[in-house]
Amino acid sequence: MAGGRGTRLQPLTDHRPKPMVPLLGRPVIDYVKDAMLEAGVSEVVVTTGYRGDDLASHVSTWSEDGVHARVNRESTPMGTAGSVRLLSDVLTSTFIVGSGDGVSTLDLGALLAHHRATGAALTIGLVEVDDPSSFGIVGLGATNEAEVDGDLRGGFVRRFAEKPAPEDAFSRLINAGVYIVEPEALAMVPAGVKYDFSRDLFPSMLEAGLPIAGLMLDGLWFDIGEPHHLLEAQAALLGGPQAFLHDGVTVQDGSTVKASLLMEDATVGAGCTVQSSILGVGVTVGGGAVLTRCVIGDGVAVQSGEHLVDVRRAA
């Protein structure tokens, strides 16, 4: 699923779809694709919306990895489940759904095995977080009729709650946006209607008694919703809060770049400090400038001597 506009990531998404935002030199969608290939997937369909042509061009390169891939572009936004429902004519057996705008190295093979072992109609990949108050949490039971057991890390989904207060959180397991789905679950999604997995389909399945399984997965997972999430994912993959400089980046003498992401052909002048910031393609930073927790869009020029803190600047 890669149809979102990514407004919270602007200006990084002004000129690219959210799944094409780079992380360590690769679009974030590639990390999800790799996790699917590890699980044995050989055919991938990317559902697109905003700047779909950019995604189509990139997806065409996946054939080099031996995967058959194509895009299916929505004419109007259909929601997460609605966009998948458009493909019901070809989704006639078990399939995997993933979010193309997050970073994932999760073990989808384990999720598929759990799905088959439980006989569920749909299985949700879960990750554990320290503070679930910003996420949708999932409560598991040992069977499809059992009460929620907060100690379980695999079982049947018995309850959902969206962004609970700390005192109301019955679980620290959250929905990682990756699902194993049977056609019988997809058939519950109405045709031609905007419909979401978490908001619409999952509650309907629970009400109907259709079994939903869940499993906590090993691996890294980041929801790239805000620019700082991109830097957090970069730090996790690098093993620390280092800077990452793409090809063509120039940092002149006397400048310091820490815990930041600099995209292709960005230039940092002499005597600058860039801390916890993201510079887009072709950004120029004049001498003596100081940037802290800033996001600078493609092609923007920061003037010499500017001191910017928590600024987002677009072209």
16 vs 2, 58, 98, 225, 267, CA distance in Å?
12, 12, 20, 15, 20
Q: Please, are residues 262 and 291 in contact by the beta-carbon 8 Å criterion?
A: no
Tell me the sheet residues that pair with 254: none
Q: Please, are residues 66 and 41 in contact by the beta-carbon 8 Å criterion?
A: no
Give the C-alpha separation, 38 to 105, whole Å.
9
The separation between CA 66 and the C-alpha centre of its own chain, rounded to angstroms, equals 23
What pLDDT sits at residue 96?
Answer: 95
Q: Is 59 exposed, middle or buried (0-12, 13-18, 19+ CB in 10 A)?
A: buried
What pLDDT sits at residue 89?
Answer: 92
What pLDDT sits at residue 185?
Answer: 97
**Residue 307: phi, psi to the nearest 5?**
-115, 110
Note the pTM of the prediction, 2 decimals.
0.88
Give the C-alpha separation, 155 to 223, whole Å.
24
What pLDDT sits at residue 196?
Answer: 92
**Residue 240: phi, psi to the nearest 5?**
170, 165
Tell me: cis bond preceding 190? Omega within 30 of 0 counts: no
What pLDDT sits at residue 50?
Answer: 82
What pLDDT sits at residue 227?
Answer: 95
The DSSP secondary-structure symbol of 35 reads: H
**Helix or strand (DSSP H, E) at 128:** strand 122-128
Q: What is the DSSP string of 54-83?
A: HHHHHHGGGGGGT-EEEEEE-SS--HHHHH
70 vs 55, 62, 170, CA distance in Å?
10, 9, 40
What pLDDT sits at residue 234?
Answer: 96
pLDDT one-digit tens code per residue, 222-260: 888 899 999 999 999 999 999 999 999 999 999 999 999
Fold for the domain defined by 7-223 = Spore Coat Polysaccharide Biosynthesis Protein SpsA; Chain A (3.90.550)
Q: Smallest Cα–Cα separation from 278: which of 7, 4, 10?
A: 10
Give the C-alpha separation, 216 to 115, whole Å.
12
Q: What is the pLDDT along the chain (315 residues), one digit of tens a residue?
A: 888 778 899 999 999 999 999 999 999 999 989 988 888 888 999 988 888 888 999 999 988 767 899 998 888 888 889 999 999 999 999 999 998 888 888 899 999 999 999 999 999 999 998 888 888 899 999 999 999 998 999 999 999 888 888 888 899 999 998 999 999 999 999 998 999 998 899 999 999 999 999 999 988 888 888 999 999 999 999 999 999 999 999 999 999 999 999 999 999 999 999 999 999 999 999 999 999 999 999 999 999 999 999 999 998
Q: Cα-Cα-Cα-Cα dihedral of 86, 92, 96, 97, to 10°? A: 10
Residue 161 identity (one-letter amino acid):
A
Q: Smallest Cα–Cα separation from 46: which of 98, 111, 85, 123?
A: 98
